Structure formats: structure tokens, C-alpha cells
Structure 1
């Protein structure tokens, strides 16, 4: 009906608006540019999350954590009889994607500034700051019910009868929600300060 009175139809008008320039760019051109920029941002973010989430990056490439990385590699979570090893990322980075990005951005800014200022660039400085860093991690674990531990250690599948007699009642309290992993397991992945 619109074509009968000389006006183009809705689809033609929409297509014309998408293709015709609005000052310098057409709406379609702006959408394509926006899509490309958005895609590059999403892919770039994912690449950075993957690169900065490796043990190599955490322990040697950028961070002043080579002393802790060695402890981890030599400890029960880095080398054990089953061959299953936890990575830095498994224990220290949240799994939920939006929070993961916020956490990595915040930690990244803090860590880069710390690296540039040489906050922990010697083993002596590391040892001096170790208790403070450990307390921060312990508080985080206590606050989220040791979620990083629970990502691998599933209490609903544990058989108390197969555990050592002295730990059964303690693990029972954890299963009841009256305690959390970090209450007893400070120093399990790294040497306790």
C-alpha cells in the first residue's frame, strides 16, 4: 500500500537508512565497525585471560612469585601420586566469568604497579610480605567457603569411612557447613608462613 502512494515500504526505508550516510558513516558501516571492535575486544580479553592464567606466567614470566611457584611444584598440589596437579589459576582466580574479569583487572593493576615499584623483587622482600599475602588469601577463602578447594574436592562424594580416623569428625563438620577447608589446611599448597 505504501508503494502505491509513492512512499517506499518499511523494508526499503530501513535498508536505505542502513546504507545511506548519516554524516560521514552509514548506520550499517557503524554497525560493522562496532561488531569488529567488539569482536576484537572479546577475543583479546579471552586471550589475555588464558595467557595470564598459566603457571608459567604466574611463576616466571611477570610475577615475583618464583619462590611460591617452586613450593607449589614440589608440594602435594603440584606433584602427587595421582598425577593430578592444581594450577595457580585453579586456586587463586575465580571461575565465574564476569567476576573473573573484574578480579584479573584489579589484581593485574595491583601486580603491575608492584612489579614496577619492586615491591617483591627479592626473596627477602617476599619473606617479609609473605604473612600479609597469606592472610589475604586465607580471608578470601574463609569468606567464600573455600570455593577454590571445593571446585576439585567434592565433599558429597567423599567417603568418611575411608579417611583417617582423626580427620573424620573434622570433615563431618565441614560437610555440615560448620567449618571450611582453610580452617585446617593453611600451608597445604604452599609453605605456611
Structure 2
């Protein structure tokens, strides 16, 4: 039985061998493209430039996201690259701007980096806010939180924040990297000291004086 009459006209025009070569070439291209995505989505790639390795990566190593009792880690791409295909592609295209600034040497020294720290942090906070802290929720889904296992403060504040429509980054800035000189209502006031901002906001001077 001849299959010629069932063969599409466009296949006849270019030939079956050409079609097979295009098919194989497509597989090779897709495999290479996916390999490149995965290769650029690893912590080792993120810290391959000294701007990241000597600044934010060192800060991150001092946090619970890097080392903890359970050994569960959130690496750079876990927090900064979406897992969904569409948002991931958008983020990858945006990252081309970071390559440009690597070439220009915009933040190639700690002094330059710290000078732009607030601007860089604000861009990331805005991105996370817009996405409803999507990357945080890959691990910290509030729908499955057991408030009885949390401390008094988070068990009290989390339901309230969720009811008010707040997202993770509204309250949890500075959990993996040094905060720029900002204030957040649940965190430690940061005056630019080289430390990660955690804990309660310091009491006003008059309150501290009263306690004395």
C-alpha cells in the first residue's frame, strides 16, 4: 500500500528527508535552549561574577535561607527567577540589562554596589510586589501554614496581613540581604550598618528612657 496519496503536498515539495532533518534539528535546538536555561538558572552561574559573589552572596550565607536545621535551601534562582515559563522568559530578557551593567562596571566594587543598593533593592521589591511574592509562595504558601506551630507574633500578624491583602515582601525585606537605609515597621531600623535586618523595630528613645 502506497502512502504517497496520504502525504501532504508541502512534504512532497521539500522531500521527506528534509522534513526529518528539520524535525531532528528542532529537537536539538529545543534541547540546547532548555540546557542553556537550566545552566543560567543555577546558583553557581549567579555568583560567577564577583559583583554578586562578593556582595549579596556573602550576606545570604549568613541567613536561614542558606543554612538551617533541616538543610532545605532557597538558592538565588529560587527567589529571583519565576518557575512558570512565561514569567521566566520575561525575567531572562530583563536580565540582559544586568549583563550590560556588568560590562559597564556599574557595580564592580563594594562602594559602587552599596551606592546603588537601595535602587537595586527597590527594583526587586517592586517586581515581587507586582507578582504577589510569587517566588516566596513556592515554598511559603500561607494556605498551608499551621499557625499553632508559629511564634506568637507571626501567628498573630500573618492572618491579619493576608486579610489586608498584603504580600510577603511588604513585611519581609532584608531576610536574605543587607537592607539599604530604609525602615520597615516589623524590622530593625537600618542605618546602613553591615547587618541583616531582623527582629523588632527599636523602641523610640523616650520609651527606652522611661524603662530606665
**What's the TM-score bracket when you normalise by the shorter of the two chains?**
0.7 to 0.9
Is the 2:50–2:108 contact (alpha carbons within 8 Å) kept by the matching residues of 1? no
Which structure has the higher relative contact order (CA within 8 Å, separation 6+)?
A: 1
Unaligned runs of 5+ residues in structure 2 are 181-212
Does 1:164 find its partner at 2:151? Answer: yes
Residue pairs, 1:2-21, within 5 angstroms:
11-15=3-7
Match of 2:51 in 1: 64
Match of 1:91 in 2: 79
Match of 1:149 in 2: 136
Between the two proteins, the alignment pairs up a number of residues equal to 179
Cα displacement string for residues 89-143 of structure 1 (whole angstroms, at most 9, x for unaligned residues): 1000011013212321331x21221111111111111111111111011111111
Cα distance in structure 2, aligned partners of 1:30 and 1:81: 57
Unaligned runs of 5+ residues in structure 1 are 1-8
Cα displacement string for residues 140-193 of structure 1 (whole angstroms, at most 9, x for unaligned residues): 111111111111012122122332222223201233352111111100111111
- The TM-score, its normalising length taken from structure 2, stands at 0.75
Please tell me the root mean square deviation across aligned C-alpha atoms, in Å.
2.3
Q: Which has the larger radius of gyration?
A: 1
